[in-house]
Amino acid sequence: MQSTVPATFKTSGAPVTPPAPPVDAWRSMTIGTMATAPIHELLTTLGVRLVEVDPGELAADGIVGYFSGRVGDAEIQIERSLPQADRESVVRDLLARIRPEEQTYTKRSLTGPRLRPAMVGGKPVHIECPSWCYLDHVAENEGFLVDVYHCGDTVSLMAPRMGGAAQPVLHARLNADSFGTDVAHQAPHVIVDDETEFAHMTPEQAREFASNLEAFAAQVRAMAEQAAGR
C-alpha cells in the first residue's frame, strides 16, 4: 500500500519544517551565526562545496583559500595540507563574503615573502615576492632586475553621477620596487592615483590619508543632508 503521509510530516504525525532555500537562509543569518554555527552546517545551508586541492597548488600564488560561486551553488578550495587549526578561520572568512550574486575571492597568506619564479632578460631566476603581490613575474619578463616590482590588487573610489554611470575618481594599491634604484620606493608602500597624478605613501602617510578620507566623507555626507533639506 502506498504511503500518503506528506513529506513534511514525520510518521509520528509531528510536522517537520522543510529547509529554507539557501538565499532565504542566508538573508536570515546574523554575523553571530556566521561566526559560531558549525562549519558543516553553514556549508550545507548555503550550498557550498568544500574542495581540498593538492599541497602547493594555492600556496604557490600566496593563496590559502579560494571562493567561487554564489549562495546555493559555490565552491571553496583549500589545500589538503592546511593545518586544522587554520582551516576554520579560512573557511569562515570565505563564507562571510558569500552573496546571491556570482563572484570569486581569494584569501591570501599574511606570511612574509616567498620565493617565486621570474624571468629577467629572458633568463629564469627566483626572487622574493610578498604574499600580496599578484603579478606573474615569469610573464612580465622584465629586461633587468631593477625593473622587477611588486603590485597588489587595486581598490577604487567610485563617484556616482547624475545622468550617468559611476566613475572611479581614485585608485589605491600596494607596491614595492624591491630591486629599484629609488631606496624610498623599495619597501612596501601605498600608491594612490587619479590616473594622472601618483602619490607614493609610507604606511604612516597612508593611515593619515585614510583619516583625511574619513573626515572628507563626513563633510560630503553633511552636504548631502543639507541638499536633501534635512
- Model pTM score: 0.53
CA distances from 167 to 3, 126, 201, 219 (A): 61, 39, 24, 20
User: What is the per-residue DSSP string for 142-158?
Assistant: BSSGGG--EE---EEEE
Q: What is the pLDDT of residue 224?
A: 93
For residue 188 the three cell numbers come to 612596501
Q: What is the pLDDT of residue 83?
A: 80
Q: What is the pLDDT of residue 3?
A: 38
Domain boundaries, the chain: 22-108, 114-227
Q: What is the pLDDT of residue 129?
A: 87
Q: What is the pLDDT of residue 107?
A: 84
Q: Taking phi first (over 0 means left), then psi (-120 to 50 degrees means alpha), and beta for anything else, what does residue 17 get?
A: beta
pLDDT (tens place) for every residue of the chain, 230 residues total: 333 334 444 455 555 556 678 889 888 888 778 888 899 999 999 999 999 998 778 877 778 899 999 999 999 999 888 888 788 888 998 998 888 999 898 887 766 666 788 899 998 888 888 888 889 999 998 999 999 999 998 999 999 999 888 899 999 999 999 999 999 999 999 999 999 999 999 999 999 999 999 999 999 999 999 999 86
